[in-house]
């Protein structure tokens, strides 16, 4: 049942190329035209959406943070992301032109369910991104995009997360197509990039041994930090969450730009810091990330750098370099998350923890 793996989680990590392919299947034509037939909100109403609020808990909320970067960029619709359990208590401003996107692997998380009930009561439209057919959250939503990852058994979400991000990208591209904020050929180009992701995730998985060796070396770590920028920032937080959930160690994800405003005080000799480097591009994101890594390394941090293959600028600042396939910055979370999942799974295994059933956690939390 675990396909020869020790844990469901590891099996699910290794299934991700197929899961991502399944999430993409049948959602676009050869020419990149998108079709999302589970969206039962008519196109007219979708064209009028003037605000999007993404809600979710845990890993699902991080998928929402990635979605914000992509959907705003492609559609120019303002996107907010909120933890589902905080959402209704702040008395959010909702109108019939607000689209609330509820992300939930299980579709049963009570905090998220209560958030969408609140949203619908205020006449906002609700779209669920869910992995479980017929679960409560999609049943109570106006529309649903199923992630088609197949059952996720391990408590820590992996393929659920990657496919949630895929669904968010598809939603963003669909809205862009509908509203004409991106030209068809630009959308088709992103769709082609998405179609390459399953093979690229496989490449990352093929390098698992490097990550496993690293876990062995870092077995005594008491604290691990993660840094990212832009779409890599939620990846850093997700990497930290996986370590908290599985290895029970203090782990924190920071936006690299925030370092000098506080977190750099935490850096001490030998502290492991994972750094997700954005692809080299026209903006300064990449170079600023590299200088942040220089800063922490000068203070003794042990830097584990995730950067795209061929990026020679990181060689000098990386104690350990994990190469990622070349993908556009907005899609990088799909490949950059994978080594962090492998690391947490392996470290927890070496520590003797139950990876599939971490202490104090449940796969789906059906109480508020």
**CA dihedral (52, 57, 60, 66) positive or negative:** positive
Helix (H), strand (E) at residue 47: helix 43-47
> Side by side, which strands form the sheet with 250-255?
250-255, 223-228, 272-276, 302-308, 320-324
DSSP track, 69-85: HHHHHHH---EEEEEHH
Instruction: Indicate the residue among 106 and 349 with the shorter CB distance to ligand BG6.
Output: 106
Identified binder of ligand BG6 from the candidate list 35, 298, 309, 361, rule CB under 6 A: 361
Q: Which residue, 154 or 339, has its beta carbon nearer to ligand BG6? A: 154
Taking CB under 6 A as the criterion, which residues in 148-187 touch ligand BG6?
Answer: 155-157
The site that binds ligand BG6 (CB under 6 A) totals a number of residues, namely 16
Closest approach, Cβ 2 to ligand BG6, in A, equals 19
Minimal distance, residue 164 CB to ligand BG6, in Å: 8
Q: Is 11 a catalytic residue?
A: no
Contacts (CB under 6 A) with ligand BG6, residues 50-69: 57-60
Sheet holding 125-130, edge to edge: 79-83, 51-56, 98-104, 125-130, 143-146
Measured from the CB atom, is 199 or 362 closer to ligand BG6?
362
CB of 105 to ligand BG6, least distance (A): 3
59 vs 177 by CB, closer to ligand BG6: 59
Are 44 and 92 a contacting pair, CB within 8 Å? no
Alpha-carbon gap, residue 302 to 318, rounded angstroms = 8
- Classify 149 as helix, strand or coil: coil
Per-residue contact string for residues 99-118; x = within reach of ligand BG6 by CB under 6 A: -----xxx--x--x------
**Shortest distance, position 366 Cβ to ligand BG6, whole Å:** 10
State which residue, 162 or 329, has the beta carbon closest to ligand BG6: 162
Instruction: Determine the Cα–Cα distance for residues 339 and 303; give it in Å rounded to an integer.
Output: 15
In 31-142, which ranges are E strands?
51-56, 79-83, 98-104, 125-130
Q: Which residues are catalytic?
A: 363
Q: Where do contacts with ligand BG6 occur on this chain (CB under 6 A)?
A: 57-60, 104-106, 109, 112, 155-157, 361-362, 364-365
């Amino acid at each position: 049942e675990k396909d020869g793996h020790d844990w469901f989680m590891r099996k699910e990590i290794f299934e991700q190329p197929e899961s991502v392919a399944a999430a993409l299947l049948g959602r676009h034509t050869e020419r990149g035209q998108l079709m999302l037939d589970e969206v039962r909100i008519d196109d007219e109403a979708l064209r009028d959406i003037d605000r999007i609020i993404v809600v979710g808990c845990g890993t699902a909320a991080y998928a929402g943070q990635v979605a914000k970067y992509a959907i705003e960029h492609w559609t120019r619709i303002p996107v907010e992301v909120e933890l589902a359990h905080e959402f209704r208590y702040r008395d959010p401003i909702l109108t019939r032109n607000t689209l609330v996107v509820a992300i939930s692997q299980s579709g049963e998380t009570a905090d998220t369910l209560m958030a969408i009930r609140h949203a619908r009561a205020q006449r906002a439209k609700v779209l669920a991104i869910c992995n479980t057919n017929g679960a409560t959250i999609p049943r109570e939503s106006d529309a649903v995009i199923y992630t088609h990852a197949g059952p996720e058994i391990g408590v820590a979400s992996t393929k659920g997360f990657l496919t949630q991000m895929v669904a968010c990208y598809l939603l963003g591209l669909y809205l862009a197509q509908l509203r004409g904020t991106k030209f068809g050929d630009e959308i088709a180009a992103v769709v082609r990039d998405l179609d390459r992701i399953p093979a690229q995730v496989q490449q990352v998985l093929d390098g698992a041994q490097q990550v496993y060796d690293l876990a062995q070396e870092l077995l005594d770590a008491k604290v691990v930090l993660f840094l990212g920028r832009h779409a890599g920032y939620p990846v850093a937080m997700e990497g930290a969450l996986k370590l908290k959930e599985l290895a029970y160690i203090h782990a924190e994800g920071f936006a690299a730009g925030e370092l000098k405003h506080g977190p750099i005080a935490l850096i001490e000799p030998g502290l492991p810091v994972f750094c997700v480097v954005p692809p080299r591009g026209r903006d300064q994101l990449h170079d600023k990330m590299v200088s942040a890594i220089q800063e922490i390394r000068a203070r003794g941090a042990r830097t584990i750098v995730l950067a795209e293959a061929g990026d020679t600028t990181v060689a000098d600042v990386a104690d350990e370099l994990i190469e990622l396939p070349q993908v556009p910055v907005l899609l990088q979370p799909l490949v950059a998350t994978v080594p962090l999942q492998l690391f947490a799974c392996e470290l927890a295994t070496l520590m003797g923890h139950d990876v599939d059933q971490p202490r104090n956690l449940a796969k789906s939390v059906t109480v508020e």
